[in-house]
Amino acid sequence: MSDVRIHNLAISLDGFATGDGQALDSPFGHAGERLHEWFVSTRFFRAADGLPGGTFGADNAFAERHEPGIGAEIMGAGKFGPPGWHDDPDWKGWWGPTPPFHTPVFVLTHRPRPSIDMEGGTTYHFLDATPNDALEQAREAADGADVRIGGGPTVVRSFLAAGLVDHMHVAQVPIVLGRGVRLWDGLESLEETYDIEAVSTPSGITHLTFTAKNR
């Protein structure tokens, strides 16, 4: 069976994957860009934006594992748009007319709407479903390839709690946010079901990989 993977999920030292006060002009709330500075500096990220240069070391090696072998993504309503996007019939995500997913994307929301075809192979589907049911649909759409859980932390936490994640890469950034949405709440003893490795890079990021012991 295909794998369920999480990549480049950035958290602060105190475990927050986004700050407080998400809004249209601040997708990560008071965290600003600090959780993702390491990521947007990589060659992988810059090349996807058509930009030259970028770091080409260990941070980049982790970053670029995001894409190969992925056939669908599942994300939460909180990643798809700022609070209130459900009331805007024209909202099509943060990523413009050609989103960087290039696969079906399943947006979990209690207020689903019709699917939207975007340029470049991305189709947004909106689902009010349990993690298990959403995964079943995403797996079918992925046609044998892996499914990525794209975040945010609420959705990642629900897939971890349901025991559905095979591989997870978390990038721990050396900042303390103090408030926001925490990744680890309710996941007591998660380490018992995963083999965990950690490596720190010169940029100060600690990359943690979780591999399910039953895989």
Ligand X SMILES: NC(=O)c1ccc[n+]([C@@H]2O[C@H](COP(=O)([O-])OP(=O)(O)OC[C@H]3O[C@@H](n4cnc5c(N)ncnc54)[C@H](OP(=O)(O)O)[C@@H]3O)[C@@H](O)[C@H]2O)c1
Of 63, 105, 155, 177, the one binding ligand X by CB under 6 A: 155
- What is the H or E stretch that residue 154 is in? helix 153-161
d(C-alpha 70, C-alpha 143), whole Å:
10
d(C-alpha 215, C-alpha 211), whole Å:
7
22 binds ligand X per the rule CB under 6 A: yes
Instruction: Tell me the Ramachandran region of residue 204: left when phi exceeds 0, alpha when psi lies from -120 to 50, beta otherwise.
Output: left
81 binds ligand X per the rule CB under 6 A: no
109 binds ligand X per the rule CB under 6 A: yes
E strand segments, 49-137: 70-76, 104-108, 116-117, 123-127
# residues contacting ligand X (CB under 6 A): 26
Specify the amino acid at residue 185: D
10 binds ligand X per the rule CB under 6 A: yes
Contact region for ligand X (CB under 6 A) — 43-51, 114-122, 146-154, 188-196? 146-154
28 binds ligand X per the rule CB under 6 A: yes
Specify the amino acid at residue 45: F
Contact region for ligand X (CB under 6 A) — 40-48, 115-123, 147-155, 203-211? 147-155
12 binds ligand X per the rule CB under 6 A: no
Of 78, 93, 99, 104, the one binding ligand X by CB under 6 A: 78
Nearest to ligand X of 144, 185 (CB atom): 185
